[in-house]
A and B are shown apart, each in its own frame.
Chain A
Amino acid sequence: MSDESSRKVVIPGEIIESGNDYLPGEGTEKQGENIVAMKFGLAEESNNLVKVIPLSGVYLPRRGNVVIGRVENITFNGWVVDVGTAEGAFIPLTEVPRFVNKNELDEVMDIGDMVVAKIMGVNQRGIDLTVKIRGLGRVDEGLIFKINPNKVPRVIGKEGSMIKLIKDETGCNITVGQNGFIWIQGDKIENELKAKEAVMFITERSFIKGLTEELKKWFDNEPLGKVPKTKLNL
């Protein structure tokens, strides 16, 4: 990710690298001597591993991802959650950090509640989620909105630099779900809206180099406390 110049847009069937020095990573395949792209996106090479980062398309769930979803249904042994994927996601009762009475599941998470969860695994039946780790669980207050899932890495930034900047500038707590949902929690609604504007600022300019610097300038020009004119009608 460090060298921006080594990235280029590739299309399916295009040869990214030739020779036996390279290993095929995600979104690529080895055909003879060549590493060929299987997806449309940005080709990236690091430590001789070539992979393609998709620029568009739906969110594909992966193990270890933190996602935000809405509780759709309660079954006798857990919660069905909609995380915006083709497969259904499920939080089993055993993956909740405390004891829950079998007929009081709705007191932990009710239908319609938003929940932050981690993907334990993806299998044929669907996605298994857990909330057993600190920071996960039901969302009680704050602001949730959705962005394009392909822009999530940009919002987080290199080693979390971008999200840290927003957190520091607005004093809000921000959780970014890999599926594109973003949860902002601050002490004042103005700060939350400011943080949301900052995230939208990033998504609209996700192809600019040195975006962290740009965002710093943006924060300098529009200091906190000033209520954003637009987007108040949530």
Chain B
Amino acid sequence: MAAFKSKSEISTQTNKDSFERPDGRKIDELRPMKAKVGIIPNADGSAMFAFGDTIAIAAVYGPRKMHPQHSQDPEKGTLRCNYNMLSFSVTERIRPGPSRRSTEISKITEWALEPIVMIEKFSNMVIDVHIHILQANASTRCAGINAAALALAHAGIPMKDLVSSVSIGKLDKQLVVDVNKNEEDWEEGEGATDIPITLTSTGEMTHIQLDGKITGKELKEAIELAKKATKQIYELQKKALKEVID
């Protein structure tokens, strides 16, 4: 399914006016998305979210008692996220188990979700969120956060809002929405910069990441692009939640 185009197929044109993306999308066009809620019967809440070939599933367990006891927080509940990429999710098998990258993304996901989850009343308790990437084609953390937000809502956990996440890329000098693997590996000009952004439905930001070069003006543009894109994602999340009847 994840048949990546070879490098030679990547467009050589980087002219801003007639910028062509490798897969022929418009610069503000997302990949076809899919969202489904209630996919794991054993979990208290679960969801799937896909950006094209990138598929993430999330399962929520709890609120339940925190073990070991010394990590209990009597003031408020704890949100614990676990991001995991399955060994067959990429073309070359990755070693299963926690890695530097996955622990970092777990923490990032926690920070992206914490502002919306109302965990004040769940003292000494923990809410576990397990995110698995079934198939990866870039933007996995964004798909993971989107799935986790749906799963948390499905688990009946009080939340202020939903969050939607999207990655904005800068390919050479051009900003694009929802980067895929081909674009992530962009090598021409200034190369590729990936900016995952998470926003609530009211446009408040809970998470932004950036490594690479970008000007302040471009960053503002990127956030505006993300606002537009997350609106579409939010509508899909809303639809998915309303469709679940069980």
Contact = CB atoms under 8 A, between A and B. Distances in A.
Interface of A: 9, 11-14, 27, 38-41, 54-58, 86-88, 124, 150, 207
Contacts of A56: 38, 44-45, 154-156, 246
Contacts, number: 76
* 9 interchain residue pairs of minimum CB distance: A57-B156, A13-B161, A12-B159, A54-B156, A40-B153, A86-B64, A38-B158, A86-B65, A11-B241
Contact of B158 (A39, A58, A87): A39
A40 B44 contact: no
Interface in B228-246: 237-238, 241-242, 244-246
Interface SS of chain B: loop
A58 B159 contact: no
A27 B241 contact: no
15 contacts: A11-B241, A13-B160, A13-B201, A13-B202, A39-B158, A40-B153, A40-B241, A56-B45, A56-B155, A57-B45, A57-B157, A86-B62, A86-B122, A87-B65, A207-B246
A138 to B, nearest CB: 25
Nearest to B125: A86
B162 interface: yes
Contacts of A57: 44-45, 154-157
Contact of A38 (B65, B155, B160): B160
Given A13-B201, A27-B158, A86-B124, 9 more contacts: A12-B116, A12-B162, A13-B161, A38-B158, A40-B154, A57-B44, A58-B44, A88-B65, A124-B124
